[in-house]
Structure 1
Amino acid sequence: MLPQDVADDATEAPAAAVADAPDSVVADGAAPARLYGEPLLKLPADLYIPPDALEIFLDAFEGPLDLLLYLIRRQNFNILDIPMAQVTLQYLQYVEQIRLSNLELAAEYLLMAAMLIEIKSRMLLPQRPHDIELEPEDPRAELVRRLLEYEQIKLAAYDLNAVPQLDRDFVSTQVFIEQSLVPVWPHVNALDLQEAWRGLLKRATLKQHHRISREELSVREHMTAILRRLQSQRFVEFADLFDADGGVPVIVVNFVAMLELAKETLIEITQAEPFAPIYVRLAYSPA
């Protein structure tokens, strides 16, 4: 903020400059001001501009800590080793300027000024003899802590201010839809879904298709397989010649092959007594 005398000079400068304007400017039709859209070529003789009509704010501070942090950062002082003499002098100069214009605002700044003077006086006091061996406490420690916390909060406030805000960076739109056009969907619970799923499974089982595939089985191949097995063994039990894992079609073809071999007298099917095991062997042929 400029001092009050500088602000007063700034307010009186435009009126004096316009009053002392050369007649050539007025003659050329260049009006120094406009009133209700009409050019004002000559200022009234009784025009009075009050001293408080124009105030120029170069820097706006949020409080004493903000001003103190600004003075430290502007001159690149180490915040952990603040030169109290220079900072206090600059701070008091600013407080003296705002005290002339706004006494209520200066009260808060005067409290910080008293704190700075107290810290400076404590630094100038000599140490007592019994405190020489102990590590002295820096009187600026509390002030440094408050400044660092304030700076962190201020940076966080800048980051939050950069976030888009409603009614500042964007606006929300509202669309009104007629109630009759809004579809009303019925409420569906878990039991309804379960019943619907069961109905689908029931319909799927009713529409199943049984497919019959045709398998090519050769009676001649099974006849050859039976003869090869009987050549290595003298007697083979009837049930051992059938492979149950092959399924019914394989068993049927194998049985037909055995009947064909018996018909052509290539094998013999014998049984010792009723209900005794049935054996199969190659037919005896004289040399």
Structure 2
Amino acid sequence: MSYQVKIEKFEGPLDLLLELIEKEKLEITEVSLSKVTDQFLAFIEQNHDIEASFLADFLVVAAQLLFIKSKALLPSLELEEEASLTVDELEYRLKEYKKFKEIAQEIKRIFHAPRYSFERKFFRPKQELFYPGENLSLDALKNSFENLIQYFEEQEKLEEKSIEKTVSISEKITEIKSFLVKNQKLDFELMTSETKSKVDVVVTFLALLELVKQRSVKLSQERDFGNILIEKIKDE
């Protein structure tokens, strides 16, 4: 839907009229805004299915033309501060509306512009499949597997060993205490002479250190690195 303005100095779209006036190619004082308005009202009467956006566009352009003409006819008019702010705000809004309208037209142009695209052919990934030959027999398959197995080295069998139970420190403490019930003193070498495991000797020594910490026994040596004598501390 297009609306054409027909006046003495101009004939064409309303947007073009505004553009010529803003670029000072046409004097606003030579434009009769009343005629423009009358023509638009007549256009509305002839077209009853006009969209609301079309009416809004006319009102914005007409307001801007009226604003420009009022400034041209009354250049020396001094407005109050509140009125001046209202005029400045109107001018700002009109410029913003024009900016958004131009952007909308550009988006519309891009949307309706011819676009070219080339579709990609369907890509089917290649699957690696194995199909045995027609002459393959069970004997040939058996021989192939036997030859394949020969390439693998026989795994070395590990020597079987039984894992001996390790006595805990708490169990060894209980054992030492039971010895000290019958004997006031113990000999560390004699106590560990029948032990086959080095781990058991270490656990026995750690148990003795814990008993010393608990002030249950005291240890003594006649010389460095000599035999350790274990003596029970009597309860006071």
TM-score in same-fold range (> 0.5): no
TM-score normalized with structure 2 length? 0.30
TM-score normalized with structure 1 length? 0.26
